[in-house]
Structure formats: structure tokens, C-alpha cells
Structure 1
């Protein structure tokens, strides 16, 4: 793909992106970086098992009630959210058709300063094995789904508002006609970024890569200082859709620090 979100071309969002992707059948190479098994979100059948939690916004409560009634969550549903979700929309599952292998983010283009570079699987056996958190604890039980599996990032304050490039590598374990991602970043109820990207068709067993360069809307000095002074208050949801239906949900939070 030589450009970003085909489905949402022309849709106005708080950021813009350009991207390239590729795929191959080979799975012999291993990406560099420190390893931990990626958090995998639930199958559609688990979408109604999470209770509505106390911190959920009114729009999130509406979404959860609808999901409980119909059993699925669609693209338009998550676009109604006006802040980060209070908890996962889906329970963990080992059967997700996508396994992320590597995530690398740089400031500027792909050859810029590396913010983080993570290997998400160590070998093929771990891809299909237990979902574990960074410390090695199982995330299989319903009671453990929440903050324990929310990824935490500590980044330099200089990256706030900067153009960044995200490189990702993933394996498709099943055929997917239309693989689509929405990633939204909030500071409380202020949306910082809204990224949308269509990976398109994925061949079963293929290793796929995508590089997405995106601009972040200008951040005021006042908001920048609030973000730096309040660790973990920037929160993000990564929603992944198969043919328009949510099948994975990742959560993360961000702390920005001034580097000496």
C-alpha cells in the first residue's frame, strides 16, 4: 500500500498519515529487539463478557450495552468514543488471526531517533502459546484483564507533537479479507491523535509489514505541560477489525519526561 487509510480517504481526522506495506510467505527470520509475547484480544464470542466499569464515559457505556445485546463491535461504534476506554472491550484469546511480531517507532522518518523497538515474539512456539505480560504472568483469566495487560511507555517530551514513523510486522494465521486498524490517543477528553489504516487482504501464514508515517496536531504549551506533569494520563486504544468487526483491542498509556 502506498497511501494511508483507503476506507476513510477524505475523512477529516486530527492527524494525517502515509504508509507502505508488504507481505511474504516466509517466516524464518526473527526481528531484533527485546522480547515479550504480544497481548492478544478476544474472539467475537467474548465481546460481551466484560462488565461495564465505573470509570466508563457515557458513550462507552452505550457501546458496551450495544455490544452485549448484539455480540459484535463495529468501526462506527468505536468512532463514537470521546475518550480512551476504561477497560478492554474484549477478553484475551489465543485464537486471534493476527500475531504481532515487531513494533518500532521513530521520530521523523524511519531512520530517525528510535523511541522504542520491540520484538513481540521470540519464536513460532511462543506465538501460539500462552499470553503473558512483560513480567511473565499469565493473562488468561478474566480477573486479570485490565491494568495488568495495559502496555506502559515512557518517552522523551521532545516526541510530543512530532512527526513519527511506526513500523510493524505481523503474521496472519488465517485469511483476512479486510484487516483494518484504528488507533486513538487521548489526554483525558482531548483527542491527540486519530490514526486509521487499512492493511487490506492478508494471506494465511504470511508475514506482513507496514510502515506508517503520521503527523501529530500541534499541541499548546499549556497542554504540553499538563501531559508532562501527569504521567500515564495519555492513554491509547488500538482497535483491530476483520471485515468491519472488532477482533482485537490493545490498550496503552504514555509518560513523557524531559531528558537532560
Structure 2
């Protein structure tokens, strides 16, 4: 199999049919120990999984694949509210084998119905051999149109992602995920638009309000505004996701 580079995966316009490298490509002893997703504002945990903490009962994760793919394919089920959060925080704990890692990097591409809707590029940098590392990030999610949210709810597991991990510019790991979003009971009062939920904090509706909030967060963390979310529009392709033309997704870099 030929060497797959970051430039190769950044040129992809839809999920790959299979995996671009075998499990044996990870000859650096990298092991993921814990992964947590949380709402940055409330600090509420949305999802957490690891060796010492199994998946929460109210979060459905399907490991139904057979063979070596079972270690690299996962199905998530989340509440629709996740689609309306303006800021997400993630925490990844991973260990490294006896070989030092140079240029450890992850590129993650998200698609809905085979159209790219967001792309993230994270640089881990150098990792000491035999170390256990915790990497935290905060990134912005601009508001989705209600039409697109409905479309994503109505088409379970058609929201997909490919995660590619590189060392020295060479692909060593490739994981896949698909997502199902559950419509909340409207009588519970939880199905609100992004603007309804966050306008008081944002000071304005939509993307401008999200920018104001990010400026406040950057000030509180003593970070440059560009270190949080550098929103980058993704040009829609014909026949793709409804409402995606109005969305500017983030492309992140390491800022911790």
C-alpha cells in the first residue's frame, strides 16, 4: 500500500470506502486510553469512554463490526441538542510506546450524505517515548440551520467521519464513525433553536454572536482570538446537505 499523506486526505470529498492503512501501520505503540466530549459552557459531559469508565447508559455506542474493523468503526447516538452547541471541549488521553513520536497529527473529516461539512486539523507535535499524554482542545461550532438539523435527524448514521493519524507525515491509523441524532420530546422544552438557547450570552444572534462569545472566551483564557476557532467556510457541492451553504465550519490547530 502506498504512503498516504495529509495532503491526500485533505483532498477527499466524501468518506472513504474502506481503511487507508492496516492496523499494523501503528507500530509506535499508540493507545487511546480515554476520550471525553463536553459542553464548554456548562462543563456537562456529553460523552466519555475509556478503559476505566464504560460508555454511559444513556449514550448508545454500537461496536457491531466484525474482524479487525471492530476496533476502528463505531456508531454514536446523541441527542439533537449536541447539534446546537456553540463550543465543544474534548479531552484525549493516550499512551506512547518505546519510540518517540515526531509530528504526531490528526485530521478529522466530517460528512453528511457524502458532502463535507467540517474538517479539523490537530497537531500533537512531539511525544516522549513511554509517556501518557492528555490533550485538550476547545473549538467552535457555528449554528446549523433547523432544516439541516432536521435532515440529519431524519437520516440516522448518514453523518460520518474519518479520523486520520500521522507521524512524520505518514498515515499510521485510520478510524471511522457514524452518528445518529435523536429528536428530543418537544413537551420537555428542550428543543430550542440555537438563538433561543444562547442569544442572552452571545449578545446577538447567529454567527456574529458566536464570534462575540469566542472573543470573551479567548480573553478569559489569555489566548489570541485565532487560537480558538478560525471559521473556514466549506463550499457546498450540488445535491448535498440542505442548508450547508449557510455554514462556516472550523479548521483547528493546536493551541495548548
TM-score class, shorter: 0.5 to 0.7
Partner in structure 1 of residue 81 of structure 2: 158
1:172/1:203 contact within 8 Å kept: yes
1:222 aligns with 2:147: yes
2:57 corresponds to which residue? none
**Higher helix proportion (structure 1 or 2):** 2
TM-superposed CA distance for 1:216, in Å, is 1.7
User: In the alignment, is residue 235 of structure 1 matched against residue 166 of structure 2?
Assistant: no
For residues 115-167 of structure 1, give each alpha carbon's deviation from its aligned partner in whole angstroms, at most 9, with x where no partner exists: 11101479xxxxxxxxxx947x8734xxxx3x784101101101114221110
Q: Which of 1 and 2 has greater Rg?
A: 2
Count of aligned positions: 174
How many Å separate the matches in 2 of 1:159 and 1:195?
Answer: 18
Which ranges of structure 2 fall in alignment gaps of 5 or more residues? 54-61, 186-256
Once the two structures are superposed, the pairs formed by residues 124-143 of structure 1 within 5 Å of their partners are 134=63, 139-140=67-68
Query: RMSD value over aligned CA atoms?
Result: 2.3
Is the CA contact 1:185–1:194 (under 8 Å) kept in the aligned structure 2? yes
8 Å CA contact retained: 1:193, 1:216: no
The answer to whether 1:187 aligns with 2:99 is no
- d(CA) in 2 for partners of 1:152, 1:222: 23
The residue matched to 1:169 in structure 2 has which SS?
strand
Q: Offset of 1:88 from its aligned partner? A: 1.3
Runs of 4+ displaced beyond 4 Å: none
Question: TM-score, normalized by length of structure 2?
Answer: 0.62
In structure 1, C-alpha distance between the alignment counterparts of 2:128 and 2:91, rounded to whole Å: 19
The answer on whether the counterparts of 2:63 and 2:75 sit within 8 Å (CA) in structure 1 is no
What are the within-5 Å matches in structure 2 for residues 161-180 of structure 1?
161-162=84-85, 163-173=87-97, 174-180=99-105
**SS in structure 2 opposite 1:160?**
helix
CA distance in 2, matches of 1:176, 1:240: 12
2:21 match: secondary structure: coil
SS in 2 for 1:115: strand
User: Contact between 1:155 and 1:255, CA under 8 Å: does it hold in 2?
Assistant: yes
Separation in 1 of the partners of 2:44 and 2:74?
21
Q: Secondary structure at the match of 2:67?
A: coil
1:1-260 → structure 2 map (5 Å cutoff) = 48=1, 71-93=2-24, 95-109=27-41, 112-120=43-51, 134=63, 139-140=67-68, 145=69, 149-162=72-85, 163-173=87-97, 174-260=99-185
Provide Cα deviations, 1:28-80, integer angstroms capped at 9, x if missing partner. xxxxxxxxxxxxxxxxxxxx2xxxxxxxxxxxxxxxxxxxxxx2000100000
> 2:152 aligns to what SS in structure 1?
helix
SS in 2 for 1:89: coil
Q: Which has the higher contact order (CA 8 A, sep 6+)?
A: 1
Alpha-carbon spacing, 1:96–1:153, altered in 2? closer, same or farther (3 Å): farther
